[in-house]
């Protein structure tokens, strides 16, 4: 069902004709009520025909910053690091989803999850051992790994506790689901390396171990290893950062992020899973009857509106609703948006490229008349799976599980234009 106030493809003439005409009014409306910002804008105006001060002298030399960094005016665009977590042990940081555009996450803003701190590894001394149920056990240097045929793919990575079922109280999109990011990864197919070692007939699992202080260990089904799994050494065109597993990590597209073991040092081919700490006491899903789901690898279809979203404020008139959607099962087929708390839904535009197991950007033009409302998004992937409401999900799973919460996220908009988390009481 389509919402009469919103055009499905963004080209309806009544709305489209007035977008530019309302532009100055929208800008003015956003500033009204903020006297300090209004005064600062007037004092620092640099609109033509004025000549701004930065045009009156040469700028910085290109060699003054060999690596490069963002503008100092973007210094607040940083990862969201919870102050309650001790950063030397099991800790995490979140991507500021509400402040980003497109689908690629810059390396400096990519979310992190660590179980034993971030090791500093000399790539020349690092080795990858492949052993167990193989014909030819191998110990490979990084130089030898880079000799294998390489490829680059765009995939998302998401923590399975993003968020927990009892953690729906965040203020921003980052607070709620900031443990997801997307990058172009470069490396070699895991299948290629395993074929070099030669798999024995009884091989069914590959146990990956990291070189961090926690010796993070996860069991990977052999079928995944022979499908799209990668051994990656570069991210967004540069070598992995230490926080992302430098110099080598496994990447398992669509699977929960902790399985993409960082600082990879060992692959043990086995007939059975390891049943490690991270597969028994952690990363299992506690059900209402006391049993636990194990090996729930796949990240289900999910979406979130990132603008407008929590702590932001909108003005009356035209606003673009935009956000991201993703699924571990493949491509996003459709994203629907509701601007009336789920009473009706409108299909949003998906921004190209729409890739398998990658973030997909969606957009919907919307004219807000100023009445309080709640906006939501729900994703459908190419398998037909539809993102559920929180009540639907908890009716089956309960609220004791910490992992695999992919519920629809509501944003409440007040008459003043303030946007807040719809899970919180008004």
Would you write out the chain's pLDDT as a tens digit for each of its 426 residues? 444 334 433 333 334 435 544 444 444 344 334 555 555 555 566 778 888 888 899 988 887 788 988 999 999 999 998 877 665 667 899 999 999 999 999 999 999 999 999 999 999 999 999 999 999 999 999 999 999 999 999 999 999 999 999 889 999 999 999 999 999 999 999 999 999 999 999 999 999 999 999 999 999 999 999 999 999 999 999 999 999 999 999 999 999 999 999 999 999 999 999 999 999 989 999 999 999 999 999 999 999 999 999 999 999 999 999 999 999 999 999 999 999 999 999 999 999 999 999 999 999 999 999 999 999 999 999 999 999 999 999 999 998 888 999 999 999 999 999 999 999 987
Predicted pLDDT of residue 40: 58
Q: Dihedral, CA atoms, 79, 112, 85, 217, nearest 10 degrees? A: 180
Query: In Å, what is the CA distance from 269 to each residue of 112, 132, 133, 396, 412?
Result: 27, 5, 5, 35, 50
- Determine the Cα–Cα distance for residues 364 and 348; give it in Å rounded to an integer: 5
Closest CA to 329 of 189, 186, 228: 228
Q: What is the 3-state secondary structure (H, E, C) of 112-154?
A: EEECCCCCCCCCCCCEEEEEECECCCEEEEHHHHCCCCCEEEE
- Determine the Cα–Cα distance for residues 114 and 258; give it in Å rounded to an integer: 9
Residue range 107-292, CATH number: 3.90.420.10
Report the DSSP pairing between strands 285-286 and 292-293. Answer: antiparallel
DSSP 371-413: --EEEEEEEEETT--BPPPHHHHHHHH-S---S-------EEE
Predicted pLDDT of residue 41: 56
- Specify burial of residue 286 (Cβ count, 10 A radius: 0-12, 13-18, 19+): middle
Three-state SS for 350? strand
Predicted pLDDT of residue 2: 41
Predicted pLDDT of residue 399: 87
Closest CA to 127 of 1, 264, 24, 243: 264
pTM, 2 dp: 0.89
Whether 107-292 and 302-421 share one fold: the answer is: no
Identify the residue whose tokens are 């007037």: 42
**Distance from the first to the final alpha carbon of the chain:** 28
The packing angle between helices 23-31 and 35-43, to 10°, is 120
- Determine the Cα–Cα distance for residues 56 and 62; give it in Å rounded to an integer: 18
Domain ranges of the chain: 107-292, 302-421
Question: What is the topology classification, in CATH, of domain 302-421?
Answer: Immunoglobulin-like (2.60.40)
Query: In Å, what is the CA distance from 189 to each residue of 128, 136, 270, 336?
Result: 15, 18, 19, 35
Residues 240 and 234 sit within 8 Å (Cβ to Cβ): yes
Predicted pLDDT of residue 279: 93
- Determine the Cα–Cα distance for residues 239 and 249; give it in Å rounded to an integer: 11
């Amino acid at each position: 069902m389509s919402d009469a106030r919103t055009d499905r493809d963004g080209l309806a003439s009544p709305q489209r004709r007035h977008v530019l005409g309302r532009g100055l009014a929208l800008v003015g409306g956003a500033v009204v009520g903020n006297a300090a910002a209004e005064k600062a804008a007037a004092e620092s105006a640099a609109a033509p025909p004025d000549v701004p001060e930065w045009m009156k002298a040469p700028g910085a030399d290109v060699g003054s910053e060999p690596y490069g960094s963002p503008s100092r005016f973007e210094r607040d665009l940083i990862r969201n690091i919870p102050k309650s977590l001790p950063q030397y042990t099991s800790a995490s940081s979140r991507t500021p989803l509400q402040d980003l555009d497109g689908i690629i996450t810059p390396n400096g803003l990519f979310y992190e999850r660590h179980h034993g701190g971030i090791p500093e590894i000399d790539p020349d001394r690092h080795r990858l051992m492949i052993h167990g149920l193989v014909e030819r056990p191998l110990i490979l240097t990084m130089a030898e790994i880079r000799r294998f045929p390489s490829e680059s793919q765009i995939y998302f990575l998401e923590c399975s506790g993003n968020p927990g079922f009892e953690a729906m109280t965040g203020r921003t999109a980052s607070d709620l689901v900031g443990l997801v990011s997307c990058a172009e990864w470069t490396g070699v197919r895991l299948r290629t390396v395993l074929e070099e070692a030669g798999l024995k007939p009884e091989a069914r699992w590959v146990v990956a171990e990291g070189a961090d202080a926690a010796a993070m260990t996860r069991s990977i089904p052999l079928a995944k290893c022979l499908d799209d799994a990668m051994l990656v050494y570069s991210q967004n065109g540069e070598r992995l950062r230490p926080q992302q597993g430098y110099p080598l990590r496994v990447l398992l597209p669509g699977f929960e992020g902790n399985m993409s073991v960082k600082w990879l040092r060992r692959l043990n081919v086995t007939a059975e899973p390891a049943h490690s700490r991270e597969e028994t006491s952690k990363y299992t899903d506690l059900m209402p009857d006391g049993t636990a789901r194990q090996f729930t690898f796949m990240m289900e279809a999910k979406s979130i509106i990132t603008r407008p979203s929590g702590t932001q404020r909108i003005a009356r008139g035209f606003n673009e609703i935009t956000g991201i959607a993703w699924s571990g099962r493949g491509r996003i087929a459709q994203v629907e948006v509701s601007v009336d708390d789920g009473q009706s839904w409108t299909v949003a535009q998906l921004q190209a490229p729409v890739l398998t197991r990658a973030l997909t950007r969606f957009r919907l033009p919307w004219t807000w008349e100023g009445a309080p409302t709640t906006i939501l998004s729900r994703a459908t992937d190419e398998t037909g799976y539809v993102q559920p409401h929180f009540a639907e999900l908890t009716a089956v799973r309960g609220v004791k599980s910490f992992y695999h919460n992919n519920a629809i996220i509501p944003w409440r908009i007040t008459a003043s234009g303030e946007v807040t988390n719809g899970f919180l009481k008004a």
